[in-house]
Amino acid sequence: MEYAIKALAELAGVTTRTLRWYDREGLLHPLRTTQAGYRIYGPEQVDRLQQILFYRELGFELADIRSMLDDPAFDRQTALQSHLAALEDRRARLDALILTVHRTIESTKGGHTMSDREKFEAFKRDAIAENEAKYGAEIRRKYGEAAVEGSNKLLEKMSREEYDRMSAIGEALQRRLEAAVTAGVSPEGEEGRAIAALHREWLSFTWPSYSPQAHAGLAEMYVADERFTAYYDKSVPGCAAFLCRAVAAYAASL
């Protein structure tokens, strides 16, 4: 079956402007264009649009979606299975968050009293959901679904004591970074190595396994992505760049 641009837009729940934009960006070209200038889309374009919308829902950028779909190794069935797993995982987290909100409302009304454990479990789920919204697409592209899901599961299983320890290490890491940058010490020196080792310890709470290459790759994202840079540079500019260089030197020495 073939669709004119307006019909496909209505079918997919997008605007004709979006489809024209996808065409200009090289993401979704029509099957053909009539002499009158009307775009016509066929079954292959419909399937590709479905994939685009799946990836957009998961937070991927258009350029990355185009690269994946144009990759000769792209397998639609495998991609669909991956989409399904990600969506089911998201639904489970949303269901848990909805339940927590219901219990919190009941608690404020004098009904069900939430235990500290229930409150903490809700907080961990919120943290996972926030990280997914901010960085999920990037870290899944870089490390893959299995690594990210493994990290999320470690956080879900974390005890309050472990979480407090991880938070304390994160705060200590930030303080030492800011002090090192302010003092002008070398990231490749002794203090830089100590900071990189502290960063590795902090990662160990949510990383199923460690590799120097992955450690250095993550640190590179701190300077490549302005969101990560803003996190580390919130008080003292240059902390993200210092950490990146320190980790690179530390990883190279292992």
Q: Give the residue-averaged pLDDT of 100-104.
A: 64
pLDDT over threshold 90, residue 174: yes
Q: Give the residue-averaged pLDDT of 176-193.
A: 96
pLDDT in tens, 39-76: 999 999 999 999 999 888 777 788 888 988 898 888 87
* Total-model pTM: 0.48
Check residue 252 and give its pLDDT.
95
The pLDDT-based confidence of 80 (bands split at 50, 70, 90) is: confident
Domains and CATH numbers, the chain: 3-70 (1.10.1660.10), 76-155 (no CATH), 159-253 (1.10.490.50)
pLDDT in tens, 4-36: 999 999 999 999 999 999 999 999 999 999 999
DSSP of the chain: --EEHHHHHHHHT--HHHHHHHHHTTS---SEE-TT--EEE-HHHHHHHHHHHHHHHTT--HHHHHHHHH-TT--HHHHHHHHHHHHHHHHHHHHHHHHHHHHHHHHHTTSSPPPHHHHHHHHHHHHHHHHHHHHHHHHHHHH-HHHHHHHHHHHHH--HHHHHHHHHHHHHHHHHHHHHHHHT--TTSHHHHHHHHHHHHHHTTT-SS--HHHHHHHHHHHHHSHHHHHHHTSSSTTHHHHHHHHHHHHHHH-
- Percent of the chain beyond pLDDT 90? 45
Q: Give the residue-averaged pLDDT of 132-160.
A: 68
The pLDDT-based confidence of 105 (bands split at 50, 70, 90) is: low
The pLDDT-based confidence of 246 (bands split at 50, 70, 90) is: very high
